[in-house]
Amino acid sequence: MHRCDWATSELLIEYHDTEWGVFTLDEVVHFEQICLSGFQAGLSWEIVLKKRAFLREAFAGFVPEKVARFDESMIARIARDARGIRNVRKVRSVVN
């Protein structure tokens, strides 16, 4: 398999080889990828992947119907947690 030049760490190699460019019709996977792409703005993809386990937990597995019910207190709690990406605008963009 040809691997892209950006896959330079074990985490990025794993992502590249098992997820990147893999076709799916799963709306949860699509929603997660859109959200993670928003979190990535101004950061490296590796940082986002390192924080993905927390983000999945915080955003109810990225199930859109669950995330749509989040309120401002939940947004604030996620944005304060050092395990995640503490940009309240990015967190709010997932919910809105």
List the chain domain ranges: 38-96
* Other residues' Cβ atoms within 10 Å of the Cβ of residue 83: 13
- pLDDT tens per residue, range 5-23: 999 999 999 999 999 989 9
Residue 71 amino acid letter: D
Question: Per the confidence metrics, is the pTM higher than 0.95?
Answer: no
Q: What tens digit of pLDDT does each residue of 24-55 get?
A: 999 999 999 999 999 999 999 999 999 999 99
